[in-house]
Amino acid sequence: MPRSMVVLGGGISGLATVFYLTRIPAIRRITLVDKKARLGGWIQSTRYPCGTVDEHGPHSIRSVGPAAKNTFTLIEQLGLEKELIPVAPNTLRGRLIYYDNGLHWLPSTFGDLVKIRKPFTVPLIFPVAREILRKPEASEDESLHSFVRRRFNAQLADYVIDPMCRGICAGDSKEISVRSLLPQAFHAEKIYGSVVRGLQKMSENPNPTGLAKRARDEKWGAFSFQQGLQTLIDKLVEHIGNDPRVTIYENEDKVQLSEDNGTFTVRYAGGETVADHLFACVPAKALSRMMSRVEPSMSTVLLEIPIAHVVSCTLEFPGHLLKHRAFGYLVPSSQKSRVLGMIFDSCCFPQHDGQFIKKTRVTCLMGGRWFSEYFGDIKQTNEALFAETALEACRDHLGITAKPIRDLTNILPNCIPQYQVGHYKTVEKLKSIIAERKLQMSLLGSSYEGLSVNDCILNAKIAVDRLVEEQKIN
pLDDT at 92 over 80: no
**For residues 311-328, average pLDDT:** 94
Instruction: State pLDDT tens for residues 372-424.
Output: 999 999 998 888 999 999 999 999 999 999 999 999 999 999 999 999 999 99
| Residue 428: strand, helix, or coil | helix
Cα-based distances in Å from 376 to 338, 379, 473 = 12, 9, 50
Give me the pLDDT at residue 93, please.
64
Contact of 319 with 414, CB cutoff 8 Å: no
pLDDT at 90 over 80: no
Contact of 418 with 306, CB cutoff 8 Å: yes
Give me the pLDDT at residue 208, please.
80
Kindly indicate the confidence band of residue 2, based on its pLDDT and cuts at 50, 70 and 90: low
Give me the pLDDT at residue 313, please.
97
Kindly indicate the confidence band of residue 474, based on its pLDDT and cuts at 50, 70 and 90: low
- Distance (Å, whole) CA 207 – CA 438: 40
Output phi, psi for 253, to 5 deg: -95, 5
Q: Closest Cα to residue 391, out of 383, 382, 402, 376? A: 402
For the whole model, what pTM was predicted?
A: 0.94
Q: Which fold has domain 124-202?
A: protoporphyrinogen ix oxidase, domain 3 (1.10.3110)
Contact of 35 with 255, CB cutoff 8 Å: yes
Q: Closest Cα to residue 21, out of 246, 241, 232? A: 246
- Distance (Å, whole) CA 92 – CA 87: 8
Instruction: Indicate the domain borders of the chain.
Output: 4-42+228-305+420-471, 124-202, 307-417
**For residues 22-33, average pLDDT:** 94
Q: Just give the CATH number of 307-417.
A: 3.90.660.20
Could you please report the per-residue DSSP string of 118-160? TT-SS-THHHHHHHHHSPP---S--BHHHHHHHHS-HHHIIII
pLDDT at 1 over 60: no
**For residues 58-71, average pLDDT:** 93
- Distance (Å, whole) CA 91 – CA 324: 9
Q: Just give the CATH number of 4-42+228-305+420-471.
A: 3.50.50.60
pLDDT at 232 over 60: yes
pLDDT at 319 over 80: yes
Output phi, psi for 186, to 5 deg: -60, -50
Give me the pLDDT at residue 459, please.
98
